[in-house]
Each structure stands twice: as C-alpha cells, then as structure tokens.
A = this chain, B = another copy of it.
Amino acid sequence: MKIAIIGGTGYGAVELVRFLNNHPYAELKAIVSHSQSGVELSDVYPHTTDLINIKMEELDIDALSEVIDLVFFATPSNISKGIIPSFIEKGVKCIDLSGDFRLKSPDAYQKWYQSSPADQNYIDKAVYGLSEIYEEQVKGASLIANPGCFPTATLLALIPVMEQGFTDNNSIIIDAKTGVSGAGRSLSLNVHYSETNDNLKAYKLGEHKHIPEIEQTLQEQSGEDIQVTFSTHLVPMTRGIMSTIYIDLTETKSTADIIDIYKEYYKNHPFVRIRPEGTLPTTKEVYGSNYCDIGFHSDQRTGKLIIISVIDNLVKGASGQAIQNMNLLYGWDVTTGLNYLPIYP
C-alpha cells in the first residue's frame, strides 16, 4: 500500500514516519510540505539521518493520486477541507488528523473554529475515527476524521460508564492536562522553554475547540443532550495527556464494580488497558506507544466517580490512532506496526 503524508514538518507527520518506517504492509512514498519543499526530511529532523531518504515536495494532487492509495493529513485546521475532496474523487482514501471533518454540525464548526466549514457532502461521508468505538464504521470509510488528543483520552474513559444508566451525564467535569508537544512545532511564547519549564499553566477554560467534539460523541453514544465542563492545563513535559474526569453516580458503585464494566467493554481492544484497583496510570507509562490506560476511584464520601485516563498525545492522540485506523481500513490486524512497549523510564 502506497502512502503520502501532507504537512511534513510538524510532529504529527514525523510520528507517522516513525510508525510507517516499521509497518510491514505500508510504504511511505511522499511527504508534502509547502514551506520546506525540496528539503530532505533529515535536514529538518536530524534524528531521521541515514534512515529516511525523502525530499519533501509541493502538493500535486493529480500526480500523487496516480501512485498513492492513502493520504494522511497532518496539517493545521483549515487546510485539509480544501484538498480532501479532490483526493476522494480520484479514489484516494484520506485520514485527516486535523479537525476539519470532525464536527457534523456546520454551525458548531463555524462557532468553535471561527471559519467556514467543509463541504457538507464530505462531512457526511467522514467517519469519526475513534477506533475502539467506531471500529465497524472505520472499516468501510473513504474519509476518516481522526479524533483530537483530548477527546480520545476523554471519550474512551467516559463512554462505557455513561451508558450504564447509573450516572448523571450532565454532571461531567473534565480537567485535562497536556504535555507541550500538543502545541506543535510553531514558535510562541507559550512554548518557550524558559516560560514553560517548572511552570504549570491553565488555558482556554471552557473555550477549547475539543469541547464540541467531545459533546457530539457523548450525545451520539447516549442519546442525551450533554454539556461538559472542560478545562486544559499545560504541563512541563514533552509528551502525555491526562484527563481527570468527574461524574456523579446516581447509585452506589464500588471501584471494583466500575473496573469490571470497563474490563468487559474493552476485552477485545488491546490498546485500552484497564488498571487494577488501587493503582492509577501515569503518562510516562504509555510514552511513545498507542495505549490508553484508565484507572478509577469511586469516591464514596461524595458519590462521584473519578476516572484517570492517559495517552501519548502524539500517538494514540494523533498519529498512532491514525495508523490504527489505516489497519482497520485495510483489514490488517489492528496492532500491525503499533505493537511496541511504551518506553520507560
């Protein structure tokens, strides 16, 4: 299978390159970057020296379509919506790591992305690629909207319990924390080392564009009109997301009760690991890997369930899940090219 990546200078692209390099069935044929066209990838990312010999190139949809089966878009918002339709028309499958095709409602896109939405025909065609939840839909898709990093960690942790009937699904609070690589490689004072090291920052309280993405999926899964309180924090570390989730229980449930539900729910999904009672996952325990690890504490005093969900934001939160979706798309084993242990310490 022949692959191209569009958006070649960001962290999403370079993680795709890492996984594709060892994938047995997929071959990376082209990396497109407007700003670095003509430059060797290893000049921009010296860690690929001697291993990846690809010059980045300008986008040429016609030429690419003739040699490529699948395109990954690792572009910022507002780029892929203008390009993907042309690829789809030519029969090339697309996996979009940006947010352009995630929201089904054009009004929501307009409001949260402050920009006009993609063509509604393609929005309708797009499958939301939260692999464990939409596995069947992904298998037949031509266009996959790969989920955001915070929604991935949050939704995998919430969906099994909110369907049980013993939670108040309008009580959800998500206190999310992310490492700095989630902000990408662009320059800003917010990712300046001296401003970020030994510093913890809250940002975009109640205003993050991952909110409508989380709510849309929770609503679809539960059939309820759900609104969540969502806050984000920038943690002085490179990789990792933790979502600490609070939800009211309407019946008394022990931590063990909850764990049983999740173990059963994810028993056929190797990339979700449910932690035993008394332990909680840490972000480093999934470093560099495609796992989402989830732990629980049912607080008997206050009747709240607290869920801790961790992922590597660049892997399960972006490029790893994109590879997982490619595996589903072509009927390969879902762990193909992803079956590596986290790097610890």
Contacts and interface: CB of A to CB of B under 8 A. Distances in A.
Contact of A345 (B11, B202, B345): B11
Nearest to A215: B301
Given A297-B206, A306-B231, A345 B200 contact: no
Contacts of A285: 46-47, 49
Contacts of A102: none
Interface residues on A, range: 35 or more
A236 interface: yes
A202 B310 CA distance: 10
Nearest to A293: B49
A327 to B, nearest CB: 17
Number of copies of this protein chain within its complex:
4
Interface in A186-237: 187-189, 191-203, 205-206, 227-229, 231, 233, 235-237
Contact of A236 (B227, B228, B233, B235): B235
A185 B175 contact: no
Given A194-B345, A227-B301, A275 B46 contact: yes
B242 A205 contact: no
A198 B345 CA distance: 9
A199 B240 contact: yes
Contacts of A344: 14, 45, 47
A206 B301 contact: yes
A304 interface: yes
A53 interface: no
B197 A238 contact: yes
A58 to B, nearest CB: 23
A36 interface: no
Given A18-B340, A46-B282, A246-B246, 16 more contacts: A46-B293, A47-B341, A173-B304, A175-B175, A177-B177, A179-B200, A180-B197, A193-B193, A193-B196, A194-B345, A197-B345, A199-B240, A200-B282, A200-B284, A200-B310, A228-B302
Interface of A: 11, 14, 17-18, 21-22, 45-52, 173, 175, 177, 179-181, 183, 185, 187-189, 191-203, 205-206, 227-229, 231, 233, 235-240, 242, 244, 246, 270, 273, 275, 279-289, 293, 295, 297, 299, 301-302, 304, 306, 308, 310, 339-345
